[in-house]
Amino acid sequence: MFKLTTTAAEQVLQAAKQGGTEGMALRLAASQAADGAIDYRMGFDDPTEDDIRFQCEGIEIVMTPEQVPLLDQATMDYVEMEPGQFRFIFLNPKDPHFTPPTES
């Protein structure tokens, strides 16, 4: 199952509030490149009847059934990459370029 960290969920809620999209679901999509790397996309959207829908950390998440194989077992986090530079990242063991985080 796909997961959001608490930090990512807080940022998603903040982005929805700032963008006027409160109450909309977070739509996730992924595609796999020839080298196996996974590219991720996300945005706020209204669910369709064919979507897979679930809740995580208080966020409604939707994706098409075709997205499930690539996104299952992935975790979305919101981290500081460099001082003052925050972004969403996807930790996905199905991505051959994935390196599990290490404790410092």
CB atoms inside a 10 Å sphere around CB 5 = 18
CATH number, domain 3-91, options 3.30.310.50, 1.20.1260.10, 2.60.300.12, 2.40.340.10: 2.60.300.12
Question: How many percent of the chain have pLDDT more than 90?
Answer: 77
Please report, for the chain, how many H helices and E strands are present, in that order: 2, 7
Express the helix, strand and coil content of the chain in percent, nearest 5 each. Answer: 20, 40, 40
Q: What pLDDT was estimated at residue 103?
A: 58
Q: What pLDDT was estimated at residue 98?
A: 78
pLDDT in tens, 62-94: 999 999 999 999 999 999 888 888 999 999 998
pLDDT in tens, 34-56: 888 899 999 999 999 999 999 99
In this structure, what token pair is assigned to residue 50?
């064919």
CB atoms inside a 10 Å sphere around CB 19 = 11
CB atoms inside a 10 Å sphere around CB 86 = 12
